[in-house]
Each structure stands twice: as C-alpha cells, then as structure tokens.
Structure 1
Amino acid sequence: MLNFLGLYVFDRGIAVYSGSVIDVFARVDVSEEAVRSTLTRMTSRGLLAKHRNGRKVYFGLTPRATDVLRDGERRIWQRGAVNRDWDGTWTLVGFSLPEGRRGERHDLRTQLQWAGFGPVQNGLWIAPGTHDVTEVVEGLGLAGNVTVFTAQHAKPTEAADLARRAFDTTAIAARYQDFLTRWREPDDSLPDDLARQLLLHADWLDLVRQDPHLPAELLAADWPAIEAEELFQALATRYVETATPIAAAAIESVDVGAV
C-alpha cells in the first residue's frame, strides 16, 4: 500500500477513490476485504485522510504519511544499496532497561533496527556512520535510559568483525539473491506491468529498509546488492513507461482541495 501511495499519490495533491485502490490491488491477488481493512487501519493511525465526494470515499495522504513516503523515496533513490562514503565512524547506543520494561525495550530495539543499527553485545547497538537517534529515543520517552556516542574501532577489534557480529550479512546477502532470482525474469503470470511495478517496488523497499547500509569496504567484492540495485533501477525505469498509462486508466482521483 505504501508503494502504491508513493507511486501514484505522493506529491500530487490528490485523493484516490477506494474502489480504484481495490481494483488495482486485485491485480496482485489482494482481496477487497484486506484493502478496506488496510485503508481503515492507516486512517486510524493518521496516515490517510478520508474525503467524500458524493457517495464515494477517497483517501489522501496526511503530513505523517508524506514524511514516511519521503523517507522511502530517499532510501530508494538517493542513499543507494551500498555505503561508499564511510568515514570509519560508528554510532553506538547503549541502554539498560529492567525486565519489567520489556515492552519499551522491544520498541527501542525495533526502532534501532529500522534506523540501521545492530546488536554488537547485550545492551549495545551500533551503526556505521553518524546517526541522530534523538527522535527515536525521545519519542519512546527513554532519554534517561540511553547513552549515545560516536567512536572508531581500535585494535584488536576489526571493523569487518564488528559488522559480522552486529549484522547477519549472510541473511542480508541471501535476501538480495532472492530478489535477483525473482526479478531477472519478471512473473508472466501477473496481469500487467502495473502489477509488476507494485510488487517490484514493494520487494525493493522491503530490502533496503532491512539493510543497515554497511560500508562497501567491509563487504565481499561480489556483494549482491550492487547487481540487485542495477536490476531494480532498470525495471523501475521500464515500468514508468509501461505501467503509468495503465494506472491512469485504472485510478480515479480528485484534487484534495475539491472534496
């Protein structure tokens, strides 16, 4: 859903008819019930705003959703799949929360993982480069329980060893290999390139959001993210030409200011 919104609603000042969303998602075998449930849930979470025009219901983006989609756009098109600009610095986050605050500890770990951190040892998470985690920590109300600082590794610790300890590089590489296997020959069973475009972007965004963006110098020379990114960009460019006309015919929308 986020990828659909990013491709066809983001930065357009429009709201889309719920029936159109249902029709589009039917192309990728998502049921009407699941689409309606997702739209309702995203509205209740402040990601979508509901508009009415006659008897029809349209959904537009809220500022919160716009921020989420802008972050996705940055991760996909600006950051790249491999970090080639690492300065040797690590950001370290240390924390200690008692067992009675297990839920808060889980939320912090989840947010840190989302931000590109991995656990190097109990209560100590690291990420390559300089990261501002102020919003994460303060948003969870844990400023008094967390210590954040930047540092560089020193002998006998090696940077590559830190990366392997904090991040499952084997699993990360396997996810990129799975992407290559799936998209070298796009699925002919899908009805059209709009369906392929939606799944392509969903698969790729899922990959880059799980990728801690490790420095290239710490990775194997044949790191599969490089080839996977080239394949994604080539297909994404192709689908701009072939899927956009299909989407234009399938999606009914109105200017947000008109509803």
Structure 2
Amino acid sequence: MTPEPHAPPGHPASARIAAEQVNFPRPLKGSASQHLVVTMLADYWRGSTAWLPSRMIVSLAGSLGLSPSAASTALSRLAGRDVLEQSNAGRTSRYRFTPEAKARLDIGVGQISGFGSEERRWDGMWTVVAFTVPESSREMRELLRSRLKSLGFAPLYGAVWVSAWDTADELEDSCRHLGVDNYAIFRTPETELRGRPLIEAWDLAEVRRQYLPFIDTYGPTARSLDPQQLSGEEAFRLRTEVIDAWRAFPWEDPGLPPELLPREFPLFQARRIFVALYNSLEETAATYVEETAVRLAPEVAGEIHAFRVRA
C-alpha cells in the first residue's frame, strides 16, 4: 500500500531494486486470499518486526470472510513468495514481513496514500523512453513493460513509452537491473511536441470507468456512516475492504496530473470517499485488532500501529 504517483523520487535505488524482487500478489479488482492477507498485515504491522502467530492471523482473516484453510494456505504461499518469513515456536507457526517485502510495502504505502491527491502540480514536462529488447529476451521485455507501467508509463507506440512525471532515474535503475542496455530516456516540454498528443497513450474513458463501481459501492456508506454504530469487527472488515479495493487503482491508473484530466474526473471523488471511510474507521478497527491480539497472542499486544492516510 508516495506522495507522488507510482514511484517515490529519492527512494534509494538499492532498496527499490531489492523490493522489486519480492513476488507480491498483484492487486486485483475483487479480493483474493493472499492479496487480502497482505493488505490486513500491512495495515497494522508493516513496521513491526514481531513474529505474529498464525492463530491470530487466521482469526482476523476469518473476520474478512476467509476460512481457516484459505488463510493458512495464503500464509504458506506468501512465505513461498518471500513476502513473509516463517518461524516455528513449538507447534505454533509465526510470520512477519521479510525486510525486502517491508521495503516494497514502504513504496506501496506511499502510492496508496498519495494516489489521487490534487496537491501535486505538473511542471509541463514529459518523460519519454524508447527501447529495443531482442525477441529472444521476451521475459526481459515483459519485465520492463511491467516496470514501466508501475512507474506510470503507457505505450504511445510499441517501444516508445511516455509518462507525465519525472521518473527517469528510477527507470534507468530498473533498466540496468533488468539488463536492458539499448534504450534512450529524455524529458521534453509539452510546448515543443508536434504530432500525436502524448495524452493519447492512455484510454481515459477506460480509466474513468474503473472508479464507478467503487463510488457506487462505498459512496452511500461514506455519506451515512457513523463509526460509533459499528462493532469493532464490522469496522475492521469495512476498513480492510476499502483499502483492499483502493490499492488496486495505482496498477491500472497512471496517476496523471490533474491539469491533464477532464473536470470532475471520478478518481478525485473516489479518493475523497476512500479517505473519509478509511480514516474514520481507524480507531474502532485498531481497537478490535488489539483486542484480538490480547486474546490470542498477548506477546504481540502493543505492536499494532494502524496506518492513516493523509487527507
């Protein structure tokens, strides 16, 4: 789960590259067990080094609708992906995020918290990359395309990708790491472009449509919600569902500057709904998680630090 879309400038290259190695489950539209467990754990224990007993994780996952077997399988598979590391204490399995996963989560948290904010202003400059990857290196090409998309790029043409933000340093680091050496990265002002507008690299109608189900689902709740009327379990479940749905958007939306988007673009309405719901449920949900820890894993009570999004 950066104040800037997609890639946080200034993040150390070594940490970023190490983070790219972690095989996180990709955010999805609609919950999957591994995805949901990562969301839940990152929400309350991203910065903790404590070992979390599986019985507590499974219990909390049950509040999100996951069966014990589904939650246990998700934990095992996340450990296999190097997202979690596992340790046994007697007959108890325990888990925590690997250091590399925590580095990746630090990036992701910035993406989620800053995504859709209208505060950042555009300088009128575009980043353009042209590259060639041999047909024999198809896997390298796909990795590069995935990285480009994660940085907010889109293909104007097959091997010419564009971004409205200055992510040249992050992209150059990734090219070197992936072994791509036949590329050119440059910055160009909007005023010097001729021909096809670079904004046409994105299908804005498709980007717009992805927010409508989120607005329809959570908008009425945000308008009428009284967090005091919810039980701790209900607040925990709703808060996790909301951020789980929201964190998929940076994968599909390039985070274009507000100056380039039509007025009343639904991203901004969706963000207001997300922030209102997520932050208002923080106290009630965190209390429920802490009570669960006291009951099932008192050794980690007090390790909970619920995340809060900047309004």
TM-score scaled to structure 1, two decimals?
Answer: 0.87
Q: 1:83 to 1:103 in 2, by over 3 A?
A: farther
- Amino acid in structure 2 at the alignment position of 1:11: G
Q: 1:5 to 1:135 in 2, by over 3 A?
A: farther
Tell me the residue number matched to 1:241.
283
- Amino acid in structure 2 at the alignment position of 1:185: P
Taking the aligned partners of 2:288 and 2:143, their CA distance within structure 1 comes to 40
Q: How does 1:98-247 map to 2 (within 5 A)?
A: 98-131=134-167, 132-142=170-180, 144-153=181-190, 154-157=192-195, 161-163=197-199, 165-186=200-221, 192-247=234-289
Match of 2:95 among 41, 53, 59: 59
Runs of 5+ in structure 2 lacking a partner?
A: 1-36, 226-230, 301-311
- Amino acid in structure 2 at the alignment position of 1:31: S
Tell me the residue number matched to 1:32.
68
Range moving further from structure 2, 21-30 or 122-131: 21-30
- Amino acid in structure 2 at the alignment position of 1:136: S
1:186-220 residue CA offsets vs partner (Å, 9 max, x unmatched): 499x9612111111111111113332110111111
Residues 83 and 214 of structure 1 are in contact (CA less than 8 Å); yes or no, is this contact kept in structure 2?
A: no
1:27-69 residue CA offsets vs partner (Å, 9 max, x unmatched): 2333333322332232233221212233211111221111121
- Amino acid in structure 1 at the alignment position of 2:129: V
- Amino acid in structure 1 at the alignment position of 2:186: F
Runs of 5+ in structure 1 lacking a partner?
A: none
Between the two proteins, what is the percent identity of the paired residues?
A: 25
Tell me the residue number matched to 1:75.
111
Alpha-carbon deviation of 1:124?
0.6
**SS of the counterpart of 2:281?**
helix
Task: Tell me whether 1:13 sits opposite 2:49 in the alignment.
Answer: yes
**SS of the counterpart of 2:211?**
helix
Tell me the residue number matched to 1:96.
132
- Amino acid in structure 1 at the alignment position of 2:252: Q
**SS of the counterpart of 1:85?**
coil
Q: 1:67 to 1:155 in 2, by over 3 A?
A: closer
- Amino acid in structure 2 at the alignment position of 1:146: Y
TM-score scaled to structure 2, two decimals?
Answer: 0.73
**SS of the counterpart of 2:239?**
helix
Instruction: Please report the RMSD computed on the Cα atoms of aligned residues, expressed in angstroms.
Output: 2.4
Taking the aligned partners of 1:140 and 1:155, their CA distance within structure 2 comes to 30
- Amino acid in structure 1 at the alignment position of 2:92: K
Residues 127 and 188 of structure 2 are in contact (CA less than 8 Å); yes or no, is this contact kept in structure 1?
A: yes
- Amino acid in structure 1 at the alignment position of 2:254: P
**SS of the counterpart of 1:217?**
helix
Taking the aligned partners of 1:64 and 1:74, their CA distance within structure 2 comes to 16
